[in-house]
Chains A and B, each alone.
Chain A
Amino acid sequence: MSDPTALLKLRDLRLDGQGASGTTHILRGIDLDLAKGEVLGVIGESGAGKSSLGLAAMGFCRNGCRFAGGSANFDGNELIGARPAVLSGLRSTRIAYVAQSAAASFNPAWRLIDQYCEFPVLRGLMDRKAAEKDAIEIYEQLRLPNPKEIGFRYPHQVSGGQLQRAMTAMAMSCRPDLIIFDEPTTALDVTTQIEVLSAIRSAVNELGTAALYITHDLAVVAQMADRIMVMRHGEVVEEAATRTMLDAPREAYTKSLWAVRNIRPPAKPLPPTDTAPLMQISNVTAGYGSNDTALQDIGFDVHAGRTRAVVGESGSGKSTAARVIAGLLPPRSGEVRLDGQLLPPDYRKRSRDQLRKVQLIYQMADTALNPRQRIGDIIARPVSFYAGLRGRALRERVREILSDIELDPDTYMDRSPAELSGGQKQRVGIGRALAAEPQFIICDEVTSALDQIVAENILTLLQRVQRDYGLSYMFITHDLSTVRAIADDVTVMQRGKIVEQGTATHILECPQHEYTRKLLASVPEMDPDWLSKQVSGVDSIV
């Protein structure tokens, strides 16, 4: 395993973080070897220390952190404790970094090509003319449209996927030996992700650059990496060549990660659809402002006890649809009916009972819970507000709900949201919705901010309470594996219109519309050859 020719060598690397609550060990002794031209995938849940590891590989640690021991050796240069001048000489010319959010990493006041040329010119590697020519070559290699012109645009004038590729191009500008990718495609839609992934992979192969590819998505890492390292709690759990790792994971934790991927819901008898639908949305057109049309003549039904997944990429209008149903955005035309009864378009005009029956669960559990209220109070309010319970009866009911969402009432009743993990917060969000005893719950990307294992638990919980209380869900998501796991019916949206809808099996097994097929084909699979197949498939179509 130890390779004397390794480009990057980490030995027993330790990183501590100083917080208000004392010292936390972020990295607890990491050993790592990365050969020239090799791509190492680093995966783990949030908080595993992946990003800190990526930064440490450049000899950098965030504010409030410090290296507590060990060494990081890059091609003979020790990075830990090196003088800033040495580090800044290595960074960008020999080590480069691609961050998760390209939009936040570009200077909005400079054109892309200016930012590309900055370093090669600054380091005296090329003059401005040569750097511009080089930029166009790299843009071409990364398959950016109009490589000759795109560099002369400002960051806000190109799409997210293009920006991410422009950033990768920038990282390659000095032909570094090592590029660190920190979740470069996590913020992108699946159809964009596939383009970015294949562009990055071919460029990395062509230039022979070594890479640390950090992600939480197993299927992505399977496409990109030669070797995979699994991290947890700042430690290496397991490390092996990609195919070995996928076929035969050794550690229990790795196996559990793999197993999550393949989970399918238990077959349940589907509630019938021949009765009158519970929620009926018909001919809704809506937009923000007078010229904007975020939704164009959409309509769908949700039957009692069933889940309708609304799928689409960002900007497809799925969240707008939720806002119309909730009454936050009165539509320009069309109507929303609950149980056959017309709901007033503005929530302020709806009766208390109408409000109670439709509840929302939010994507970001952090902003969905008032940090100044205790968990018990957050859940108690809908109960006392709608059902009028007081005192002992109220307390009993809150305890019941907490047990229902699998949080121990004695432990969690008096905690504040800050004392909970992401998954627990999302449970409280679900609990608050259940406390209203609703009929219809809108789940807006409820699992997309969560790690896979936690997300699966949340989905299981949602399915259980659906069975127990006969709830109907409208499940907004961009993640098709979530759709597979819980949807009964699926609506596919694109640019404010519904392109296709039907039962989940129908849509997932034999999609009719081209866009649906593209969407389904873009979801990465665990097979390491998947990306190659997809790309050659796309190429052959072209």
Chain B
Amino acid sequence: MKTRLANLRQVPPTALFGIVIVILYIVLAILTPALTPYSQREIVGGAFLPWTSAHPLGTDSLGRDMLTRLLYGGRNTLGIAFVTTILAFAIGMAAGLVAVTVGGWLEPILSRIVDMLMSIPQLIFKLFLLSIFGTSIPTLILVIAVLDSTRVFRLTRAAASSIAVMDYVEAARLRGEGPWWLMTREILPNITAPLIAEFGLRFCFVFLAIAALSFLGLGIQPPLADWGSMVRENATLITFGDITPLIPAAAIAVLTISVNFIVDWMLHKSTGLKE
């Protein structure tokens, strides 16, 4: 325990800032229902009310409490982004590891499919798929997860193929181990560092993608709160010099920067690079 504390002191201030912010976001997201007396769908007063003690950030275009929607927006977007990232990793890692371990004709086929998916501009492709399949939350998760898994696939394949040529993997193959053992015991534990860093970055991109899609009206649908759509719905306020619509945008920015700080530090540690 003592060494853990000592290690914490060696964490650079940027990473520490990132960790604190991310923990804060998570705590707020979990505690949201307890923190606010209103619901995210509830109309509590007139539209665009100014900041008061009852409504610290005023109300939105429909007269819903802005702070409540900000909190719920974080909860919704964070939750969906997290599930999506996990799914993207499950698909990408599994495909990448199978391509390297089993190899043969499977590897070029998987790689070409991924190339195909990646050759279409991501945001346009997502918009296209969402307008075909509709904008329910499961579709949203699935579309983003499948398209983002391509990058996870590439990273996994690159990292895994440098491990797969190691003598200890050869020794395991010669022992007669099956692909499951090779993937989970011999290869995966040795590529966790880049994958964890990628997880942080991928989470940011997924989060931004959801916000962007919501801003464009194809992401999380009203009346569910979401930071992207909140910016759009209240954008007119900016013309009146009110900064309220910028708060959800700032929330997105702060989270993205914080995650990047943490990832930077972890990459630093895992590659052993000094300054």
CB of B170 closer than 8 Å to a CB of A? yes
Contacts A367-B168, A370-B168 given; does A385 touch B189 at CB 8 Å: no
A347 within 8 A of B: yes
A64, A356, A372, A432: the one contacting B171 at CB < 8 Å is A432
Beta-carbon contact of B176 and A385 below 8 Å: yes
A381-B175 contact in complex given A370-B186, A372-B189, C-beta closer than 8 Å: yes
* Chain A to chain B contacts (Cβ below 8 Å), 29 pairs: A64-B274, A327-B174, A328-B170, A328-B174, A347-B173, A347-B174, A350-B176, A352-B176, A355-B174, A355-B175, A355-B176, A359-B174, A360-B171, A360-B174, A362-B167, A364-B167, A367-B166, A367-B167, A368-B167, A368-B171, A370-B168, A370-B190, A371-B190, A372-B189, A372-B190, A382-B175, A385-B176, A432-B171, A436-B175
Min CB gap B194→A, angstroms: 14
B242 within 8 A of A: no
Most buried by A among B167, B177, B272, B274: B167
B174 & A369 in contact (Cβ 8 Å cutoff) = no
> In this complex, which of B173, B176, B177, B186 has the most chain A Cβ atoms within 10 angstroms of its Cβ?
B176
| CB-contacts of A434-455 with B (<8 A) | 436
**A326 interface residue per 8 A CB criterion:** yes
Cα–Cα, bound, A106→B107 (Å):
36
| Closest chain B residue to A359, Cβ basis | B174
CB <8 Å contact, B177 and A385: yes
Structural contact, B190 and A385, CB atoms closer than 8 A: no
Known: A367-B167, A370-B186. 17 other contacts (CB 8 A): A64-B274, A350-B176, A355-B175, A356-B176, A359-B174, A360-B174, A362-B167, A362-B171, A367-B166, A367-B168, A369-B168, A370-B166, A370-B168, A370-B189, A371-B190, A372-B190, A436-B175
Q: Provide the residues of chain A in CB contact with B189, threshold 8 Å.
A: 370, 372-373
- State A421–B189 Cα separation when bound (angstroms): 22
With A and B bound together, what is the CA distance between A64 and B174 in angstroms?
Answer: 40
Nearest CB of chain B from residue A289's CB, rounded to whole Å: 18
Q: For residue B110, give the distance in angstroms from its CB to the closest CB of chain A.
A: 21
- B186: chain A residues at CB < 8 Å are 370
Q: Mark A366-384, 1 if CB is under 8 A from B, else 0.
A: 0111111100000001100
- One digit per residue, 1 when the CB lies within 8 angstroms of any chain B CB and 0 when it does not, for chain A 336-364 equals 00000000000100101001100110101
- In the docked arrangement, what's the CA distance between A492 and B205, Å? 60
For A436, list chain B residues within 8 Å (CB). Answer: 175
CB contacts (< 8 Å) of A368 on chain B: these are 167-168, 171
- What distance in Å separates the Cβ of A385 from its nearest Cβ neighbour in chain B? 6
A327 to B190, CA, bound (A): 26
The smallest C-beta distance from B188 to any residue of chain A, in angstroms, reads 9
* Residues of A contacting B190 in the complex (Cβ-Cβ under 8 angstroms): 370-372
Q: How many of A's residues come within 8 Å of B, CB to CB?
A: 26
Q: How far is the CA of A415 from the CA of B176 in the complex (A)?
A: 25
Residues of B within 8 A of A328 (CB): 170, 174
Residues 143 to 175 of chain B near chain A (Cβ within 8 Å): 166-168, 170-171, 173-175
CA distance A359 to B167 in the complex (A): 13
Q: Closest residue of chain A to B165, judged by CB? A: A367
A385 to B174, CA, bound (A): 12
> Separation in Å of the B172 CB from the closest CB of chain A?
8
Residues 7-43 of A at the B interface (beta carbon under 8 Å)? 20
> CA A432 – CA B186 in complex, angstroms?
15
| Nearest CB on A from B224, distance (A) | 42
CA distance A108 to B46 in the complex (A): 74
CA of A373 to CA of B189 in the docked complex: distance in angstroms? Answer: 9
Bound Cα distance A208, B189 (Å): 56
Chain B residue contacts of A381, Cβ below 8 A: 175
User: Interface code A200-243, partner B: CB below 8 Å = 1, 0 otherwise?
Assistant: 00000000000000000000000000000000000000000000
Inter-subunit contact B175/A385 (CB<8 Å) = yes
- Measured CA separation A436–B190 after assembly (Å): 24
Residue of A nearest to B163 (CB): A370
Contacts of B171 in A (CB 8 A): 360, 362, 368, 432
Looking at A328, A355, A369, A372, the one whose CB has the most chain B CB atoms below 10 A away is A372
- How far apart are A350's CB and chain B's nearest CB, in angstroms? 8
For B167, the chain A residues whose CB sits under 8 A away are 362, 364, 367-368
- Give min CB distance, B187 to chain A, whole Å: 9
Q: How far is the CB of B199 from chain A (nearest CB, A)?
A: 18
Query: What per-residue 1/0 map shows which CB atoms of B166-204 lie under 8 Å from chain A?
Result: 111011011111000000011001100000000000000
Which residues of B lie under 8 Å from residue A362 when comparing CB positions?
A: 167, 171
* A393 to B186 alpha-carbon distance, docked (Å): 24
Contacts of B175 in A (CB 8 A): 355, 381-382, 385, 436
B168 touches A326 (CB 8 A): no
C-alpha gap A362/B166 in the complex (Å): 11
Q: In the assembled complex, how far is the CB of residue A1 from the closest CB belonging to chain B, in whole angstroms?
A: 40
Q: Are A326 and B177 in contact (CB under 8 A)?
A: no
Cα distance A367–B274 in the bound complex, in angstroms: 25
Shortest beta-carbon distance, A190 to chain B, in Å? 25
A311-353 residues at the B interface, CB under 8 angstroms? 326-328, 347, 350, 352
> In the complex, what distance in Å separates the CA atom of A352 from the CA atom of B166?
22
A510–B166 alpha-carbon span in the complex (Å): 40
Complex CA distance for A367 and B166, rounded to whole angstroms: 6
- Please measure, in the bound complex, the distance between the C-alpha atom of A347 and the C-alpha atom of B166, giving whole angstroms: 17
Chain A residue at smallest Cβ distance from B168: A370
Which of B166, B177, B186 neighbours the largest number of chain A CB atoms within 10 Å of its CB? B166
The 9 A-B residue pairs with the shortest CB-CB distance in the complex, in nearest-first order: A372-B189, A368-B167, A370-B168, A362-B167, A355-B176, A367-B167, A352-B176, A367-B166, A368-B168
Closest chain B residue to A369 by CB distance? B168
In Å, the complex CA distance between A382 and B168 comes to 13
Question: In the assembled complex, which residues on chain B have CB atoms less than 8 Å from the CB atom of A20?
Answer: 272
What's the nearest-Cβ distance from chain B to residue A319, in Å?
12
- Chain A residues near B272 (CB, 8 Å)? 20
For A326, give the chain B residue with the smallest CB separation: B174
Report chain A residues within 8 Å CB of B170.
328
Of chain B, the residue at the smallest CB distance from A436 is: B175
* Minimum C-beta distance from B126 to chain A (A): 36
Q: Given the complex of chains A and B, what is the CA–CA distance between A432 and B168 in angstroms?
A: 11
Contact with B along A112-147 (1 / 0, CB 8 A): 000000000000000000000000000000000000
Give the chain A neighbours of B274 by CB distance below 8 A.
Answer: 64
Q: CA A381 – CA B166 in complex, angstroms?
A: 18
Minimum Cβ distance to chain A for residue B34 (Å): 41
A352 and B173 CA atoms in complex are apart in Å by: 11
CA distance A142 to B185 in the complex (A): 52
Among residues of A, the one whose C-beta sits closest to the C-beta of B188 is: A372
**Separation of A368 and B272 alpha carbons in the complex (Å):** 22
Chain A's closest residue to B272 (CB) is A20
Q: List residues of chain B with CB within 8 A of the CB of A372.
A: 189-190
Task: For the complex, give the distance between the alpha carbons of A362 and B172 in Å.
Answer: 13
CA of A254 to CA of B201, assembled, Å: 56
Q: How far is the CB of A433 from chain B (nearest CB, A)?
A: 9
B257 → A minimal CB distance (Å): 28
A372 to B168, CA, bound (A): 11
Give complex CA distance A287, B176 in Å: 24
- Residue interface mask A403-441, B partner, CB < 8 A = 1: 000000000000000000000000000001000100000
- Pick the most buried of B175, B177, B190: most chain A CB atoms within 10 A of its CB: B175
